[in-house]
Amino acid sequence: MVTWDAREWLAGLIGCSRDELAVRSIDKYGDSETQVRYERAGEAVARLMVRGPIRTMGVKAGGGTWEVSVRIGTGSEDVHEIEVPETDEVRY
């Protein structure tokens, strides 16, 4: 199993090191959505959402993707999205 590091991805988008970011909260909404809020130096900096696994018709378990999006800052202007293979473990 491959591990995909959401905090590392976010750090690259913000332009800081992974170690500067801390998880402020993790909220799960059923089995299909997780929201993670990150902070840097005690200030909220981003909200990451992981949905899925998403599978199109005919795709078997393990063949789908996790839809990952992150909103950086307080507004909704700075949004980034990526798809991660369902077989990857998402690390926060």
Per-position pLDDT tens, the chain of length 92: 799 999 999 999 999 999 999 999 999 999 899 999 999 999 999 999 999 999 988 888 889 999 999 999 977 778 999 999 999 999 99
Amino acid at 25: S
Output the CA torsion sign for 40, 52, 83, 91: positive
DSSP secondary structure letter of residue 54: E
Distance CA 20, CA 8 (A): 10
Cα 24 to Cα 41, 77, 85: the distances in Å are 11, 21, 25
pTM above 0.85, yes or no: yes
Map out the domains of the chain as residue ranges.
Answer: 3-91
Chain centroid to CA 10: 8
